[in-house]
Chains A and B, each alone.
Chain A
Amino acid sequence: MDIAFSKDVQAFRQEVRAFIRTHLPDDIKHRVERGEELDREGHMGWHRKLCQKGWTVPNWPTEYGGPGWSLAQQYVFHDELAFNCAPRLPWYGWDMIGPLLIEYGSDWQRQRFLPPIASGEEWWCQGFSEPNSGSDLASLQCKAVLDGEHYVVNGSKIWITAAHVSDWMFALVRTDSSGKKQQGITLLFIDMRSPGLSRRPIITFDGGHEIDQCYFQDVRVPIENRVGEEGKGWSYAKYLLSVERIGTADVARSGTMLRRLKTIVASERAQGKPLLEDPWFADQIALLEIELKALEVTELRYLFETEAGSDLGPEASILKIRGTEIQQRITELIVDALGYYACPDLRPALWQDANIPAVGPDYAMLASASYFNLRKLSIFSGSNEIQKNIVAKAVLGL
């Protein structure tokens, strides 16, 4: 037993760190640190640099343009991105579409869709949830009927993260409703510019626009955009949930948030002293940091316990539950630590001018908005209740 990374991996960490520190633009770093949403252009300024280095699809094998990294290297890479306040890689492309197509895609699909993910030219969104199918995803009703060389899609998808900035959606649609609800589901790639596809922004209560509802009216999807076989969509979706995904626990992002919290309590003052010396705050932070430490070692244990890493099964649920609880708790403590300066709402001003100065300390600027926004963590990607159901069934055998 040895819970340290090897010398090689540690050297690799230094290399990644040096690269990020040299190339990550200050303004992007600052915006990530504040908890701001980056627009696509903001992302791309950084993504192009990563791409030149060949580092945008860390989990892909070299034949598809990946760097061919070991699991430990991938872990350390994401760790360093988070530690240094670099943006996350654009959603869904590298972590979902890549593994999906490598496992189940056709040659044409791999050639067509993988390169623009690596380069950042094409962004993806996930079209699973529907107004009447949330936790009970398999009950989905958005319908696709084969008509010659096309599927004709009708229905609606809701809560779609980043639909308004995406080029493609991978969508679960119903092609057959005669059997069990898990059967008759098909996975399609839908061009977001397709005629008949319309969108409505959904504003979340923190004031942000990151999700949309999409409506499909006779949207025609070429048959070559179907992944794998018709009617097997549910098993592909399950595969996507099971592919080993580093960062389910989001430990490093939480670590960065926790450092921010510590900076805040060191600067804020109460009773003539830094808030840091308030025993209640000091203990709350220490307890949270201990939880995070336990989660970090647990994630590493699950990833590296078996040789070459095993697929995370229901263990991923534990990481998700505890990881999101910790992140939510950190945002609560940040709001608590700020006292009155948690109250000004600067988002409207920020939308007009990204360089707007803060009222009060800069770190207070989006603190409440982040707190509100991160309530989503325990709802999406399978709510925490659903995750507990999964563990109860798959691990506890209940």
Chain B
Amino acid sequence: MDFSFDEAQQLFRDSVDRFVAEHYDFETRQRIVATDDGYLPEHWQRFAELGWLALPFPEGYGGLDGTPVDTMIIMESFGRGLVASPYLSSVVVAGHILNRAATEQQKQALLPALSDGSLRLTFAFAEPTSRFDLADVSTTATEDGAGYRLNGYKCVVHYANTAHKVLVSARTTGNQRDPMGVSLFLVDMGASGVSARHYPTIDGQRAADIKLDNVRVDADDLIGDKDHASAFIEETCDHGIAATCAEAVGAMSVLYEMTLEYIKTREQFGKTLGSFQALQHRMVDVFMACELCRSMVYAATCRLTESTAERQCTASAAKVQVGKAGRLVGHEAIQLHGGMGMTDELPIGHYLKRLTMINTMFGDIAYHTARFRRTANYFSL
């Protein structure tokens, strides 16, 4: 039983925190999300120099052999700074798929470029009728000579605007909701038949709906075994869950700190707000919610490499916990700031926006409560 960070992890955390403190104050952040790209390409270059883009990948492909705990550290700091970037979609999510499912040759071709920042990817899995079910895939891939033709529609694909290529889940056999028969393809964003409608998301980040109209891909654009991608997709999204939950913990910590500071200084009725017990107890509820989430994020992160059932059950538990806490913490932060909490000028509301987005990503409270039910038996450590 060990909840500590080793020295390398602490140094790493300091370096991410320093970046956020020096380059990502709230005003800068607001300017960045208002740009066309919704992130700063110079920052991406900086991430590459600092080795963050290479973090989860094996050394043989230019990576740093990092662990999920390292990803957790970077995501928590990003959450604190409300950092908007394709890190999650490109490195954590798409990167995980390649790392786990791609052939040696594909890895050699893609991972070094992903690590040095010259290649950005994203993962298109959601569809308008799939909701959060990852196996509900109506996009099709039909064999066409040595390659495939893709047809379908993917929605709310994170930072597709900056991606060179997109990983697409498509059905090669079976019925719309069969876990069996789903395959993964790497599609060039510029390929003929790919059309994208880009838009900002509620949290200032970027996404796109992508239409695939008879898009031709080669046989070696297939990632992983044909028909057998569902398990990888599920696993990948659990990595996404652990990462977004860590990000949420960072965001919630900031809301907690700001609100606490505010009620300690703001005075009404001749006293600080913090001297009113009704507000003290609400602040304690906020603190408890943050603490419980932090624990669950540690558990979910450490369990990513355990058995499938353990991984799923803990990831779902974390996602539910973070979903509920995100609302509580966000709402209380706004309420206790009074009118100030409603302003666009203060970061408070922007943190709630990110937390709201995170609650939806990779499945919401209802979805993960149900998945938890399916996977959880009585647990113990």
Contact = CB atoms under 8 A, between A and B. Distances in A.
Interface of A: 1-6, 9, 72, 79, 83, 255, 258-259, 262, 282-283, 285-287, 289-291, 293-298, 300-301, 304-305, 318, 321-322, 385, 388-389, 391-392, 395-398
Contacts of B376: 286, 289
Interface in B1-60: 1-5
A259 B378 CA distance: 7
B192 interface: no
Which of B281, B288, B372 has the most CB atoms of chain A within a 10 A radius of its CB?
B288
Contact of B296 (A287, A294, A388): A294
Interface stretch (B104-112, B123-131, B182-190, B272-280): B272-280
B264 A1 contact: no
9 contacts: A255-B378, A258-B378, A286-B372, A291-B292, A294-B293, A322-B288, A388-B280, A389-B280, A397-B260
Contacts of B4: 1, 305
B291 interface: yes
A93 B378 CA distance: 31
Given A79-B380, A304-B1, A398-B283, A290 B321 contact: yes
A255 B378 CA distance: 7
Interface residues of B, number: 44
A295 B287 contact: no
Given A293-B317, A398-B264, A3 B281 contact: no
A72 B1 contact: yes
A294 B380 contact: no
B84 interface: no
A3 B302 contact: yes
B299 interface: yes
A259 B3 CA distance: 28
B321 A294 contact: yes
Given A3-B381, A6-B1, A294-B321, A396 B293 contact: no
Nearest to A258: B378
Nearest to A397: B264
B342 interface: no
A83 B253 CA distance: 34
B369 A287 contact: yes
B320 A4 contact: no
The 8 closest A-B pairs by CB, nearest first: A297-B295, A392-B280, A298-B295, A294-B292, A398-B274, A286-B373, A290-B317, A304-B1
A293 B300 CA distance: 11
A9 B380 CA distance: 14
Given A287-B320, A298-B292, A398-B263, A1 B380 contact: no
B232 interface: no
Contacts of B372: 286, 289-290
B67 to A, nearest CB: 9
Contacts of A396: 260, 274, 280, 283-284, 287
B293 to A, nearest CB: 7
B298 interface: yes
Interface string B305-324: 00000000010110011000
B5 A1 contact: yes
Contacts of A391: 284, 287-288
Given A286-B369, A290-B321, A398-B275, A5 B284 contact: no
Contacts of A285: 373
Given A3-B3, A391-B287, A392-B284, 16 more contacts: A3-B303, A283-B366, A286-B376, A293-B314, A294-B292, A294-B296, A294-B321, A295-B295, A298-B292, A300-B3, A305-B3, A318-B288, A389-B277, A392-B277, A396-B284, A396-B287
Which of B5, B284, B317, B320 has the most CB atoms of chain A within a 10 A radius of its CB?
B284
Interface string B342-381: 0000000000000000000000001001101100101111
B280 A322 contact: no
Which of A3, A258, A262, A395 has the most CB atoms of chain B within a 10 A radius of its CB?
A3
A336 to B, nearest CB: 17
A9 B381 CA distance: 11
Nearest to A390: B284
Contact of B292 (A1, A283, A322, A395): A322
Given A322-B288, A396-B280, A297 B378 contact: no
B299 A297 contact: yes
B69 interface: yes
Contacts of B2: 1-3, 304
Contacts of B1: 2-6, 9, 72, 300, 304
B5 A294 contact: no
Nearest to B292: A294
A300 B379 CA distance: 14
B363 to A, nearest CB: 14
A259 B376 CA distance: 12
Contacts of A385: 281
Given A300-B381, A321-B288, A293 B5 contact: no
Nearest to A300: B1
Contacts of B291: 298, 318
A262 B291 CA distance: 27
